[in-house]
Amino acid sequence: MNEKNTVTAQESPEIFKSGKTNAPDVDIWINDEEILLVADLPGVAKEDIAINIENNTLTLEGGFSADLHGTLQRQEFEPFDHRRIFTLPKGLDVEKTTAEFKQGVLYLHLPKSSSVVPCQIKITGT
């Protein structure tokens, strides 16, 4: 993979809101048409997700929102807010970015600009 198609994760000391913050697991898929980020956001509701792109920097944030009632008897995990920052390569059409959220997993489609999408040129004539 060449450098212009690489999505780079950044470390961030910032906190989305008070409490603990976790960097969610993210898979990154690259093909000729787009870059697809698949982020695991357990305990996050669609309404509590923020996705921002500014100056080739993508920020994903999700606030833990499970509504739990009763007295805690045993705790094996802590509820975390999620935050992850990426440096995006040039050549993306960020205005056409789309996102889907299904069963705690965010699918972020970052389409490549038509100027960087490979195309086959047909030769005509004899």
| 43 neighbors 79 (Cβ within 8 angstroms) | yes
What is the average pLDDT across 60-69?
84
Residue 11's pLDDT is what?
56
Residue 59's pLDDT is what?
95
**How many domains is the chain built from?**
1
What is the β-pairing status of strands 105-111 and 98-102? antiparallel
Does any domain span residue 119? Answer: no
Give the least confident one: 35-49, 73-87, 99-113: 73-87
Q: Does residue 14 surpass a pLDDT of 50? A: no
Higher-pLDDT residue of 27 and 19 is 27
Does any domain span residue 121? Answer: no
Average pLDDT, the chain: 84
What is the average pLDDT across 94-119?
89
Q: Does residue 100 surpass a pLDDT of 80? A: yes
Please give the residue range of the domain that contains residue 35.
3-67+76-111
Which CATH number fits the domain that encloses residue 29?
2.60.40.790
Residue 34 C-beta-side C-alpha neighbours within 13 Å: 14
Residue 3's pLDDT is what?
46
Does any domain span residue 97? Answer: yes
Residue 115's pLDDT is what?
76
